Chains A and B, each alone.
Chain A
Amino acid sequence: MSAAPAAGASMTRLVKTTCPYCGTGCGVDVRLQGGAVEVAGDAEHPTNYGRLCVKGAALAETLVPDGRLLYPQLRETGEGRRETKRVSWDTALDVVSREFQRIIQEHGPDAVAWYVSGQLLTEDYYVANKLVKGFVGTANIDTNSRLCMSSAVAGHKRAFGEDIVPVSYDDLEIADLIVLVGSNTAWCHPILYQRIVKAKERRPQMKIVVIDPRRTATTDAADLHLPLRAGTDVWLFNGLLSFLYQHGVVDTAFVEQHTRGLPRALAIADNTAGSLRAVARQCGIDEAPLAEFYRLFARTEKVVTAFSMGVNQSSAGTDKVNSIINCHLLTGRIGKPGMGPFSITGQPNAMGGREVGGLANMLAAHLDLENSRHRELVQRFWNSPTIAAQPGLKAVELFDAIDQGKVKAVWIMATNPVVSLPDADKVKRALAKCELVVVSDVVQDTDTTAFAHVLLPALAWGEKDGTVTNSERCISRQRPFLPPPGEAKADWWMLAEVGKRWGYAEQFRYSGAHEIFDEHARLTAAGNRESGIVATGIGNRESGIVEEQDAAPSVLRYLNLGGLAGMTRDEYDALSPVRWPVVTPHASRLTPHVFSDGQFYTPDRRARFVPTEPRLPVHARDEDYPLVLNTGRVRDHWHTMTRTGISPRLAAHIDEPYVDMHPQDALLSGVREGALARVTTRWGSLVARVRTSGEMPRRNVFVPIHWNEQYASDARVGSLVNPVVDPVSGEPEFKHTPARVEAFAVLWQGFVLSRAPVPMQGIAWWTRVTGQRFLRYELAGRETVTDWPQLARRMLGVKDAEADWIEYEDRSAGQYRAAWIVDERIQACLFVSPRADLPSRAWLSALFAKQRLEDLDRIGLLVGEPLDREADAGPTVCSCFGVGRNTILDAVRKHGCHSAEALGRKLQCGTNCGSCIPELKNLIATALEPA
């Protein structure tokens, strides 16, 4: 526990905390010895029981000071990109509070906005939401969670009356059928995937169905994969609803006693998806597998339907969610062990944000903006001068409003909208003309901080202190174990300071995160019928539970942390992972399954069938844009790479932005595997390396979301994505933008490996990859270079004419290679060629680890390979143990390792996080293929 005594450098100190990446929310053991930080899975944490995925396992590598935002800074407004100047916290906060106040006075509260993040801790989120809705009096606070799971929230509220996730991870392990819809769990929630795979190993009769246009690492474990046409999910689940009903798979008692609205939902399902043939045609799949899926679902009682961005990020996202929930309501497969609809969220604290109401259409603590009784309760509790009365602007609308000048000041916290929002170039334009842009972040240079007038240094993982809630409603502590760098401060502190400057010292006096959590916990209990806590002001925090007063409005909701209220700082610090609700103190994870009593949180306590009229994605393919652009994550990167981008281990798996497409579409688009291509939509374009992985269906292309201007010349996929949103949830349609792919003709390509950063000005295309003790740049150019020897020296910054500089030039063939040696160590090297015949980077990279180059290295240097070819391990496949492709292929061919386990025994690969096992299997297949 964190209660472990602060120890001397000699002793190791253990801190239990929570991973800052995906919504799985794994427990992390951090061991500190002297300066060294070691990260391992927390064996006691109910989420991961000691396991960690690659990203989590590499956390220690990301705890570097490089690039951190350390001090408050101001940038004068005006044209052109100006430098920032360091100022004191007082100055910075004065500017923020003064300017916000001025704009609010001049233009009203709706002229300002906050754009926050699922990366924030619940406590930060709570204070932000409180300040904005209760003290500015606008609901213009939205979050990047809008881009992630707002459709699930809306679906839950429509069906259950409250945003409640009715499934836990344990249910996944006891389910007999797991349907994964629009979720590459293997890559995006590796630990959940591992738990599913392990469960299936224990109970082979457990079935897994994956519904996804792409064949992904996840489909690897599937008994059945339905590659449905992008955006047709509602047809599929309407079809299922209709099928189930036709075949009498109905829990009549449950439907009659605990639900409403079946007839309409069913009528629409029958009309739109009444026959297998109709559904198969609409979804672009064969009837046989479709029928197999329906029958499987029909005959299996314990079904979990887990869904992620493939469902949520759609102009019909909310309907997709409800079409899934409908099937579970019809069969009564909800509120019981091993079954239910399960939204797997993307972000570490999307759920915490939802709990505190940190979205434009929520109030706080699962209370509703539109409801005057709710508003009254919250305003009294906060003792606030005002309270937002109608929904604010959702993410996309918010930046439109900035673009239109309606919103004149925005405070962006812990997120990077210039990269992550749809039509991201518009976001750039909007921020460029915005009167006041405040950004609190942990990184100095992001595509977004470039537009900030005020930069506020925030605490990062390992420094900040608070709680997060994962996809299964489990609250875990994120505990600090590092001192704040520079003058970095908690986000809640900045917000509270502004609140105080506005004259609300009382309401924003917090001595620490625990007091904020306590207030939040008490608000969830306030007026909540089960608990006795009343919506009194926060003044008598200490008084704890008091008798209900009739004046107090009372509203029932499932979210209730009453049992966690009144914790001392020490109790809060010692808090072990707990699933809400926690109505009484010392409640454990043993709380009965939500909805097990058939009681929902609608006024009449009945669940709702929601009629889902299917509709296609808003923008269809056409002659100019004949392909569908799909976006998503890669295994080893997170969001906009501000953290994962600095880890060599994580950079090794997929090192470049790429566009994956069907070989036939590649052919038709005139591009080749490994060549560069321009991907264009009506909103923007980027350049990426072509892949034909075999995972893509015809007319679909996939581009990862992570790369941005810090890591590549031209790879922000956000700028391509259509700004269409779901009418209910406001979640953008990230998975479906009509696109075109064309060859990006280059005259030369090459790469640089360098210990020092290399300026990329004037390079037509580049991408940067973090390596072990070096940076790697992949380059391509569209003009012929006449004097490479000279350009190379300039690029790499070689001034001394007597420098130890080796070069090879085949001018007429356009080949140039050079290496710069300093003190017997390689400092940098550059390889260029007009063709894609550049040597493997693996061996050259390894040279950067050597303290001294041997002669043999020096001889092979400009060939790019050692004389002994065995030494070249090839591109890394297993990031945990750094096992390369060649090594693995050798082990398969020469040492008869014909299974992932065998490889694991020989090379360790796949034995830690296991996320490379699908690739290992593919490699085995490749290696054993008769050439």
Chain B
Amino acid sequence: MQRPRQRLVVVGNGMAGMRTVEELLKLDSALYDITVFGAEPHGNYNRILLSPVLAGEKTVDDIMLHTREWYAAHNICLYAGDPVVAIDRRRCVVKAQSGLEVGYDRLLLATGSRPFVIPVPGADLPGVIAFRDIQDVETMLAAARKHRKAVVIGGGLLGLEAANGLMRQGMDVTVVHVMDSLMERQLDRPAAALLRRELEKRGIRVLLNANTAEIVASAEAGEKRVRGLRLKDGTELETDLVVMAVGVRPNIELAKSAGLHCERAIVVDDTLQTLSDPRVYAVGECVQHRKSTFGLVAPIWEQARVAATHLAGHGHRRYVQAATSTKLKVTGIDLFSAGDFVGGDGTEDLIYRDPRRGAYKRLVLKDNRIVGVVLYGDVADGAWYFELMQNRTDVSAFRGRLVFGRAFCRAAS
């Protein structure tokens, strides 16, 4: 006599949610009947690879992780394009936009995040978009075919990838960044300067300390569309497309309305269980764990692994935050950044500069252990440094050669 399967409902057909499902299936494929709701009308794709798609280096098919066939093959019921709008925790039921209701024994929230839209006049104009999903990419590609000029607001990772993509699509692109240095969260000034020089060499215009005051619409009658952008210092930029890449906000409205405890995001414990409801788990960009929220993929993979073990009933794993590293997915620009590259009291710098070859390396040490890495131009040893950093390896034995890479340190030992 076989016991009835439990029901798992996953809200969010994105990378975090589906990775958790994958992990779960690996552990126990027979434990749950799984239902997945997604806002986008696709299977699950690799959001990280949207930049290459925009740059024309990959196609949408290339970046698909799970096709509809895959869901069918694993008896997963997928409702793509039909987002969940309400959770009734008393009845353990979720309600979708279409009115469909599905009950659950376990609920996994993976609602992700949404781009932040800076509240300036004209932010809602046609031709003002974010860079988040396939839809955005298609909008940009379309714009690139029709128009010439684009402005990207935000000189961070995503903004620069967008800028590069649009440039590759033949647009003349200006990056408007509010800070005085690009990617200031990942790069120190020397590296940022090299990056800027490289981007400008490729024809991307970069404006720093540039604060957007207003997005201006075209005056002529008929379809109303963005025409320009005015900065606080009065500078006017003519443009046919504005891409905002100024960060994201976790999607927590649903969780809130369901009465789950949220701060900046849905608060979870070391098992990725929500504080308010043991039946409800959350993973990904919508999660807040010990005061942190998450945007990079590595910690989210780890969350998925942890959540899956608990859903599978072997609750031995704990989620522990680890250092993260960043790479910019812009072909021809190699940069690597990890840990605390700013440094401070008690930290020491190892710096290598070869401007002619566009190479720059900075290792930040504390107590002879790597705590931060910035590599520009030559990132071959990034992974190794990252490993040394995570293992807290004492580097004093080969400190003098560290910057020159693993090969030389091996030669020394």
- Residues of A at the B interface (CB closer than 8 Å) are 804-813, 815, 821, 833, 837, 858-860, 862-863, 865, 867, 869
Contacts and interface: CB of A to CB of B under 8 A. Distances in A.
B348 interface: yes
Given A808-B403, A867-B407, A869-B411, A821 B356 contact: yes
Interface string B339-363: 0000000001111111111000000
Contact of A810 (B348, B405, B411): B348
Given A807-B353, A809-B351, A865-B408, 20 more contacts: A804-B356, A805-B355, A806-B352, A806-B353, A807-B352, A808-B352, A810-B351, A811-B349, A811-B351, A813-B348, A833-B400, A837-B400, A858-B357, A859-B404, A859-B405, A863-B404, A863-B408, A867-B407, A867-B411, A869-B411
Contacts of B408: 860, 863, 865, 867
Contacts of B399: 810, 813
Interface in B383-408: 399-401, 403-405, 407-408
A257 to B, nearest CB: 76
A860 B404 CA distance: 8
Contacts of A867: 407-408, 411
B345 to A, nearest CB: 12
Nearest to B411: A869
B396 to A, nearest CB: 10
B358 to A, nearest CB: 12
18 contacts: A805-B355, A805-B356, A806-B354, A808-B351, A808-B403, A808-B404, A810-B348, A810-B400, A811-B351, A812-B349, A813-B400, A833-B400, A858-B354, A858-B357, A860-B408, A862-B352, A862-B404, A865-B411
Contact of A863 (B350, B351, B353, B401): B401
Interface in B271-308: none
A213 B348 CA distance: 51
Contact of B350 (A804, A810, A837, A859): A810
Most chain B beta-carbon neighbours within 10 Å: one of A808, A812, A833, A862: A808
Nearest to A819: B354
Contacts of B403: 808
Most chain B beta-carbon neighbours within 10 Å: one of A805, A809, A837: A809
Contacts of B356: 804-806, 821
A631 to B, nearest CB: 38
Contacts of B400: 810, 813, 815, 833, 837
Contacts of A806: 352-354, 356
Nearest to B362: A809
A860 to B, nearest CB: 7
Nearest to B407: A867
Most chain A beta-carbon neighbours within 10 Å: one of B349, B350, B400, B404: B400
A489 B401 CA distance: 56
A917 B66 CA distance: 75
A865 B357 CA distance: 19
Contact of B348 (A805, A812, A860, A869): A812
Contacts of B353: 805-808
Contacts of B348: 810-813
Contacts of A869: 411
Nearest to B350: A810
Most chain A beta-carbon neighbours within 10 Å: one of B353, B354, B355, B407: B354
Nearest 4 interchain pairs by C-beta: A812-B348, A804-B356, A806-B354, A809-B351
A278 to B, nearest CB: 58
Contacts of B349: 809-812
Contacts of B401: 863
B41 to A, nearest CB: 49
Contacts of B404: 808, 859-860, 862-863
A859 B359 CA distance: 11
Nearest to B396: A813
Contacts of A859: 404-405
A821 B352 CA distance: 16
Interface in B179-238: none
Contacts of B354: 806, 858
Contacts of B405: 859
Nearest to A867: B407
Nearest to A810: B350
A808 B361 CA distance: 9
Interface in B330-344: none
Contacts of B351: 807-811
A511 B400 CA distance: 67
Contacts of B411: 865, 867, 869
A750 to B, nearest CB: 13
Contacts of A837: 400
A687 to B, nearest CB: 26
A809 B352 CA distance: 6
Nearest to A835: B400
Nearest to B403: A808
Nearest to A838: B400
B221 to A, nearest CB: 53
Nearest to B410: A867
A807 B350 CA distance: 11
Nearest to A815: B400
A860 B405 CA distance: 10
Contacts of A862: 352, 404
A859 B404 CA distance: 8
A863 B354 CA distance: 14
Most chain B beta-carbon neighbours within 10 Å: one of A804, A806, A815: A806
Interface string B159-190: 00000000000000000000000000000000
Contacts of A808: 350-353, 403-404
A833 B403 CA distance: 16
A811 B407 CA distance: 23
Contacts of B352: 806-808, 862
Contacts of B357: 858
A821 B355 CA distance: 12
Contacts of A807: 351-353
A865 to B, nearest CB: 7
A858 B352 CA distance: 13
A583 to B, nearest CB: 71
A821 B399 CA distance: 25
Nearest to B347: A812
A926 B399 CA distance: 30
A837 B400 CA distance: 9
A869 B1 CA distance: 71
Nearest to B359: A806
Contacts of A812: 348-349
A829 B348 CA distance: 24
Contacts of B350: 808-810
Nearest to B363: A810
A269 B411 CA distance: 65
A813 to B, nearest CB: 7
A143 to B, nearest CB: 53
Contacts of A809: 349-351
Contacts of A863: 401, 404, 408
A581 to B, nearest CB: 67
B348 to A, nearest CB: 4
Contacts of A860: 404, 408
